[in-house]
Structure 1
Amino acid sequence: MKRHVLVDNVYIINISNSSACICGESGHIDAYTRALAIQRQVPVFFEDEGNYEDYPIFSRSIPAWQLPSEVDLDVRHDHKTIQVGCLDVIATASASVVQVGSNDTMDLESRVKAIRHFITDASQELKDYTGIIVRKSPLSYGKKQEELS
């Protein structure tokens, strides 16, 4: 049965990273987020870093949730309207959904790899540097361009 959704007030501060706010019914939601966060005390970044394929967390299979074979369910839709007075959400992130209404299926996934590099023996001048340094990969030092191809 299709139902109407009446929402008086929705206040959301932030929706990000494959997230959604839905007022009403939907058939299928497939949200997906991948994130690679590299934080360094000294802001040096290499041109060839940041490939998801380099980190197993992004390619591992996610176990599927197995539904029970038999479910006793008694659903009564006494009203043809879903009514919500006020919905107050501070934030949603990383493949999440705020939904008022029914949904058939949701396949949500979020994978985050956080890398933090801290250096204790760097000069104070380098630690205080506020710009960004982009360099060739350390693996390419001393090699000719043909060897890198």
Structure 2
Amino acid sequence: MLQRSSCVDTLKLDIVAFASTVQLGDSCIINGLSRALAVQREEEVFLGNEGSYNYPVFSEPIPFLPIDEDISYLTHNLNPIIKVKKIRITGMSSASILHVGNSQNVSMEVRVKHIRQLLPHEEEQTQE
């Protein structure tokens, strides 16, 4: 892997949350993983057994299709420095990565299960 120095003059970052990473410099492997269970309820009821990740969305394999096309490129780095003048980010969340530098392998995965629990409405019950 090509090694270069990373230089950032100014970095202003307000919020970094939920498995997010700020990396200045080279890295061999970056793995970002975040899992979230979001439950929206019309009425505030807490059953006591919230938080189970037993939904298929968290265990199903992610299909990675093989790259079967020929790729050719030419790189010529005259300067061994990655120079960034200014980075301004309001917020990063859920396995986000800010990376200034070289990377060999990068793998990112975020899995979210959204559940909406609504109360039955009278007009819906009378239509049935």
Q: TM-score range by the shorter chain?
A: 0.7 to 0.9
Q: Post-superposition shift, 1:97?
A: 0.9
Q: Percent identity?
A: 31
Q: Which residue of 2 aligns with 1:114?
A: 114
Q: Post-superposition shift, 1:68?
A: 3.9
Higher relative contact order (CA 8 A, sep 6+): 2
- Give CA deviations for 1:67-86 in whole Å, capped at 9, x if unaligned: 34532011111101111000
Q: How many Å separate the matches in 2 of 1:100 and 1:49?
A: 38
Q: Which residue of 2 aligns with 1:140?
A: none
Q: Is the 8 A contact 2:33 2:109 kept in 1?
A: yes
Q: CA RMSD in A?
A: 1.8
Q: Which residue of 2 aligns with 1:24?
A: 25
Q: Which residue of 2 aligns with 1:71?
A: 71
Stretch deviating more after TM superposition (26-35 or 43-52): 43-52
Read off the aligned partner of 1:38 and give its amino acid letter: V
Q: Which residue of 1 aligns with 2:47?
A: 46
Unaligned runs of 5+ in 2: 122-128
Q: Is the 8 A contact 2:3 2:102 kept in 1?
A: no
Higher Cα radius of gyration: 1
TM-score (norm 2): 0.85
Q: How many Å separate the matches in 1 of 2:3 and 2:71?
A: 22
> How many residue pairs get matched?
121
Q: Post-superposition shift, 1:120?
A: 5.3
Stretch deviating more after TM superposition (110-119 or 5-14): 110-119
| Matches for 1:1-149 after TM superposition, within 5 Å | 1-53=2-54, 55-68=55-68, 70-119=70-119
Read off the aligned partner of 1:98 and give its amino acid letter: L
TM-score (norm 1): 0.74
Question: After the TM superposition, which parts of structure 1 deviate over 6 Å for at least 4 consecutive aligned residues?
Answer: none
Unaligned runs of 5+ in 1: 122-149
Return closer, same or farther for 1:10/1:71 CA change in 2, 3 Å cut-off.
Answer: same
